[in-house]
Amino acid sequence: MSETQMPSARTRVIREADRGVYDRESVYRILDEGFLCHVGFVVDGQPFVIPTSFGRSDARLYIHGSAASRMLRQLKAAVPVCITVTLLDGLVLARSAFNHSMNYRSVVILGKATLVDDPVEKLRALRILSEHILPGRWADSRQPNERELKATSVLRVPIEEFSAKVRVGPPIDDEEDYSFATWAGVVPLEMVAGKPIDDRRLLAGTDVPKYARQYTRQRSSRIT
């Protein structure tokens, strides 16, 4: 049985409260399927929201970027952050334009990002980030050198205060609109990998690795 995390006053879903999901297992499945997170923070009263890749290890989320970037420079000071991840599963077309919606799974994490100083954890975190996006690629690539590691910052965010919100299912129309003669239903959406394209400077005889040739983003089990 998955651990249940009671939402805080800040993470409890208010609008469409029945869509709120608060157990770690469900939240982890959403995070592990996502590629991109958006990191929100405030600098001198100005809000910023920056997209970046991420990786998860147990109850820790790792993000990284250039040590010179605005986000990384600010977050080193352990300022409060809001991290969001959203997966879009379908367009929900109702009979009424007002009742159109989307099927989605989303996660919100609140916390403070801290700089990863330990070189062993930093390298491990970078591997986690790489493997999160494309399993098998890290071992097949040139490893980061000292200059690259110095120019890169890695931040750790504990997954402690969080919630998820999920919408699944068909459109919900007003009762009187069910007699309206227009198509209604769901247009499913999913991420599909195309055929790998060789780099023009690829060494002769280098084949596309299996992890790229057969790449697929496994969909997690739907939350109902």
**pLDDT value of position 5:** 60
CB atoms near residue 208 (< 10 Å): 14
Q: What percentage of the chain carries pLDDT values higher than 70? A: 91
**pLDDT value of position 98:** 96
**pLDDT value of position 157:** 94
The predicted-structure confidence for 37-69, as pLDDT tens digits, reads as follows 999 988 888 999 999 999 999 999 999 877 667
**pLDDT value of position 219:** 53
Q: How confident is the model at residue 216 (pLDDT cuts 50, 70, 90)?
A: confident
**pLDDT value of position 83:** 97
**pLDDT value of position 71:** 72
Q: Which residue in 9, 158, 144 sits closest to 78, CA to CA?
A: 158
Q: How confident is the model at residue 79 (pLDDT cuts 50, 70, 90)?
A: confident
Q: How far apart are CA 55 and CA 107, in angstroms?
A: 14
Q: How many residues does the chain have?
A: 224
Q: How far apart are CA 212 and CA 196, in angstroms?
A: 7
24-36: average pLDDT? 94
Q: How far apart are CA 80 and CA 84, in angstroms?
A: 13
The predicted-structure confidence for 158-192, as pLDDT tens digits, reads as follows 999 999 999 999 999 999 999 999 999 999 999 89
Decide if pLDDT at 108 tops 90. yes
Q: What are phi and psi for residue 145, nearest 5 degrees?
A: -95, 175
Give the C-alpha distances (Å, rounded to integers) separating 158 from 4, 90, 149: 16, 30, 22
**CATH code, 17-213:** 2.30.110.10
